[in-house]
Copies of this chain bind each other. A is one copy, B any other.
Amino acid sequence: MNNSAEIDMTDETKSRILNAAGPIFAEKGFAKATVREICRLADVNVASIKNYFEDKQGLYLQTVLFARQMRADRYPMNVGEKASEPETRLYEFVSSLLRRLMALNSAPWQVQLLVRELMKPTEACRTIVRDYFQPAFNGLLLEVDQLAQRLLSDAERLKIGFSIIGQCLHYRFGSEVVSLMVPDAIKHEFTVEQLATHITHFTMAALRNEHSALSCRE
């Protein structure tokens, strides 16, 4: 029940099962993955699942937590801390996020599995958000605070953060629809770099004169 507990990896067989289940769950998801395929890859008998994880669900949960354990220490998004100009730091963040989203298929299985858990949450989602996604998102929120030209409330800061990543996510999770909506003639204007530029400009402009804009109009 305690999702924060470390997973015991001393057992050789258990470790083989988890390392085999990871890529398979990451690629196919819980429903389409089969214990037989996992056990074949791990070179263990199917009865071992019952022995170590009770059932398929238990195995999945442990696999997700195992992936989180291997990834919790690294921040998946870097906010380009080297650059001093706020705008270029935001651009670094956005383009980095877009690039990771587009290349998700070639990402390590741990990342794929965690993202899958975020998109279609099960029991483990709470832990994943707290230990994996939240830290990265907080990095963005810090940046938002520096970009805003006034003190932001917690809700305002969050909504702005959501607006930024929201502009990115659908290019991945609605990619087929996006691709159908963009005519071939202008597809070359939708590279990661150009999308990142657009989102950065859009966001900067929104933050810049949020209220003072009225005095600027006309």
Give chain A's interface residues, CB within 8 Å of chain B.
31-32, 118-119, 121, 125-126, 129-130, 133-134, 137, 153-156, 158-160, 162-163, 165-171, 173-174, 176-178, 180-183, 186, 189-190, 195, 198-199, 201-210, 212-213, 216-217
Contacts and interface: CB of A to CB of B under 8 A. Distances in A.
Instruction: Please name the 4 residue pairs, one residue from A and one from B, whose CB atoms are nearest each other, closest first.
Output: A206-B206, A155-B189, A166-B170, A121-B176
Contacts of A202: 159-160, 163, 206, 210
- The complex is assembled from copies of this chain, and their number is 2
A118 B118 CA distance: 19
Contacts of A169: 166, 169-170, 174
Q: Is the interface of A mostly helix, strand, loop or mixed?
A: helix
27 contacts: A31-B32, A126-B180, A129-B180, A129-B181, A133-B177, A134-B181, A137-B181, A153-B186, A154-B186, A155-B190, A158-B182, A158-B186, A159-B190, A163-B167, A163-B202, A167-B167, A202-B210, A203-B206, A204-B213, A205-B205, A205-B208, A205-B213, A206-B206, A208-B216, A208-B217, A209-B209, A216-B216
Contacts of A208: 205, 209, 213, 216-217
A173 B173 contact: yes
A134 to B, nearest CB: 7
Contact of A125 (B137, B155, B156, B177): B177
Given A137-B181, A154-B186, A198 B125 contact: no
Contacts of A159: 190, 195, 198, 202
Contacts of A121: 176-177
A143 to B, nearest CB: 16
A177 B169 CA distance: 13
B212 A216 contact: yes
